[in-house]
A = this chain, B = another copy of it.
């Protein structure tokens, strides 16, 4: 994979403004226009606590290689106004090379922002906009950015006119507004921070992680979903609802999360691959029902889009702190599948794989995504159709009972027992969360308990998960072990370290449970130092690694809670200091 090696390979732009100023629209249009001519990109939005309106920030990073983080610093901070903009100061690190472009009439920039040493240039965006009929300052600003980034104006015009057409904006006037900004940016020609060359044209997708996960579910064959809304997972459900309708499936909003997962189990028991979508508090509520899916061996997928915790926490911000609950949050010995997406577009593969594994192994699968992956828009390559990741299939009992009693929980070699679907004559059985014998009859006998515990563990252990279980990049005596969205900054840091002559191996685990200690050991053969990177306060991932894997050599941990992302520079510093 082609990666970002130097901060110069990319351009990071932040656009801030108060409610209605259009900073988010400007950011989106910038991303889309760049994507259309072959760039990669990432856009993340951040807003204040108000339900509607209030200050908003668009963070856009564009590059000639896939973008998995917002980098270390922003090259440009464009302020449509300064209203409450200081709340974003932590999210938009600037340095002396950064450029602050501000509306001239907006007054003094907040002192904390100026403290970065960045150069300030003011522009009369509002009065320029007033000079054009229907002119808007955010579109003027886009024109400014186009010149600064050497981005063709006509691409911006295409995306802007398409996006704004339902508002009835006139294309010629739009063009004029953009041009006004472009011309006004002449004074910035000394700062031109042109994008590096675009790698290729026309192969790009634009999607959020939540959309990607929904599409992965559809590709995997999911045709029923039951959900309860929760930030930041609701948009996944909303995107999926209408698409499920189109493919003949159905999404139902349940009365709560417990109902949602029970509906999923009911539909799945009926033979339809099914899923639910939630975030921390909702996953907590599903814990009892997940245990039922384990014991009764019913496939089910739960996509958990993590947010800041504990409790209601920080619903609109990202954190990797539901790991423990996903791995261990069920009562009893309840082996199940836990997967994690490590890029926006990987939300697709991880979810599709989860559907496949859940169906193949008759077991619930939790997919961990997070607010950053789920709600960031990525311009990326068309998500790979990984080998073998097609429509999921389940081992169905075709003529159950034809050769005697049908044993739903038969002890087979690989632990997977053919499942009779309701409607099939001779396959009648009662799925049960009580411990049972092979036939499904409740039993408290030690031998039955042991046999079924073994079966449920072994079916997961003996399955061949193939290469998808982890992404491996590079080589060296120094390895970084990471998971989920922390992979983006780690990859970038590793690429930079390599450019500086330090060999670094990166392992990003996609399959978190069942654990793969032999495979990890093989991959870590020869490694002397391991850096563990994660976005949690209590080193949950490191605890998990210690519990289940033998990590070689010296170990360090770089962990940090949300809401701020881990930056490549922080990882790079750790790597370089450790030479």
Which B residues touch A537, using CB under 8 A? 333, 450, 453, 457
Of residues A281, A435, A450, which shows the largest number of chain B Cβ atoms within 10 Å of its Cβ? A435
Which B residues touch A87, using CB under 8 A? 445
Complex-state Cα separation, A174 to B308, whole angstroms: 68
Complex interface bits, A281-316 against B, C-beta within 8 A gives 1, otherwise 0? 101110110011011100000000000111111111
Which B residues touch A457, using CB under 8 A? 537-538
Contact status B310-A332, CB under 8 Å: yes
Contact status A284-B288, CB under 8 Å: yes
Q: Is A384 part of the binding interface, using a Cβ–Cβ cutoff of 8 Å?
A: no
Contact status B281-A313, CB under 8 Å: no
Contact status A296-B317, CB under 8 Å: no
Contact status B321-A331, CB under 8 Å: yes
Contact status B308-A334, CB under 8 Å: no
Which B residues touch A122, using CB under 8 A? none
Complex-state Cα separation, A446 to B319, whole angstroms: 11
Contact status B331-A435, CB under 8 Å: no
Which B residues touch A453, using CB under 8 A? 537, 561
Report how many copies the assembly holds.
2
Q: A433-B313, A453-B561 are in contact. Are A329 and B444 (CB under 8 A)?
A: no
Which B residues touch A291, using CB under 8 A? 280-281, 284, 309-311
A326 to B, closest residue via Cβ: B331
Contact status A284-B563, CB under 8 Å: no
Contact status B446-A333, CB under 8 Å: no
Complex-state Cα separation, A291 to B310, whole angstroms: 6
- The A interface, classified by DSSP as helix, strand, loop or mixed, is mixed
Which B residues touch A292, using CB under 8 A? 311-312
Complex-state Cα separation, A331 to B328, whole angstroms: 11
Contact status A330-B334, CB under 8 Å: no
Q: Which A15-47 residues sit within 8 Å CB-CB of chain B?
A: none
Contact status B310-A334, CB under 8 Å: yes
Partner of A543, one of B288, B309, B322, B547: B547
Partner of A332, one of B309, B316, B330, B442: B309
Complex-state Cα separation, A280 to B453, whole angstroms: 17
Q: A319-B332, A446-B563, A457-B538 are in contact. Are A296 and B308 (CB under 8 A)?
A: no
Q: Is A130 part of the binding interface, using a Cβ–Cβ cutoff of 8 Å?
A: no
Partner of A281, one of B288, B432, B442: B288
Q: Is A401 part of the binding interface, using a Cβ–Cβ cutoff of 8 Å?
A: no
Which B residues touch A450, using CB under 8 A? 537, 561
Q: Which A355-371 residues sit within 8 Å CB-CB of chain B?
A: none
Contact status A325-B442, CB under 8 Å: no
Contact status A332-B564, CB under 8 Å: no
A sample of 9 cross-chain residue pairs with beta-carbon separation below 8 angstroms, ordered by A number, consists of A280-B332, A284-B330, A309-B331, A310-B330, A321-B331, A321-B333, A333-B536, A453-B561, A457-B538
